[in-house]
Amino acid sequence: MIMITSRIILFLALSFLLFRIIRRSRIQNKKAVTIASVVLCLCLLSLSAVFPVENGFVHFRSAEAAFRYSSRGTIEHVIHGSDSCMVVYSTGPGAYNDAIFPMSEQGYQLPNFYGIQETANEGLENGSFEVLRLRGSDNYYVRGVVVSENDDIQAVDCNGNAVCTIRTGDDRATLFYAWADTYETSYSITVNGQQIVISQSPVTEK
């Protein structure tokens, strides 16, 4: 992916710059300082994986562009929130994942390691649903899985919006993805006539 390549280039450039500065300096123990500088660069590189440095100077025009820069896979669906997007993607046959990209006035940004909070988990006899919240916002997303012999899965939420569904294959599992825009008041999903309540009472936790 482009992000890993750019991080490696940044690390090599920073290391080379520090190496040149150390060589031209009057420091006596240059070997120890060089080793310490390389360790520092590695620490900064690791820290950038948790808190993307690109967010300070790069903004993307779309969630798809942010995904292509930071991740690898085939985009299956893009679910729009009020100031963020969830990108659902596949990395192989039956292998699906998702990423939530925050949006600012300048454009989309990369998610940091601590940017997503799991706020609820609803267990079912034949599956489960969980609610993901983008920290610092009122954007909630629902993702779930239901195992069923029924090949015709129809799902809508309580606001009449179609819920994204993906049939994974031979395991008879169906994945569900949705933006829960009314989660803080009440939110439910109806799957083939069966209502699944995600939230009932007002949510006050931030």
Tens place of pLDDT per residue across the chain (206 aa): 687 787 778 778 887 888 888 878 878 787 888 888 878 878 877 777 788 888 888 899 999 999 999 999 999 999 999 999 999 999 988 899 999 999 999 999 999 888 899 888 887 888 899 999 999 888 999 999 998 888 888 899 999 999 999 998 767 899 999 999 999 889 999 998 889 999 886 555 54
* pLDDT for 202: 59
* pLDDT for 113: 84
For the chain, give every domain's residue range: 2-50, 63-199
CB 52 within 8 A of CB 112: yes
The pTM for the full model equals 0.82
Query: How many residues would you count in the chain?
Result: 206
* pLDDT for 1: 66
* pLDDT for 206: 47
CA distances from 38 to 52, 66, 173, 179 (A): 20, 29, 47, 43
The residue to which tokens 């896979």 are assigned: 73
- Virtual torsion, Cα 160, 88, 47, 24, nearest 10 deg: -130
What is d(CA 89, CA 74) in angstroms, rounded to the nearest whole number? 5
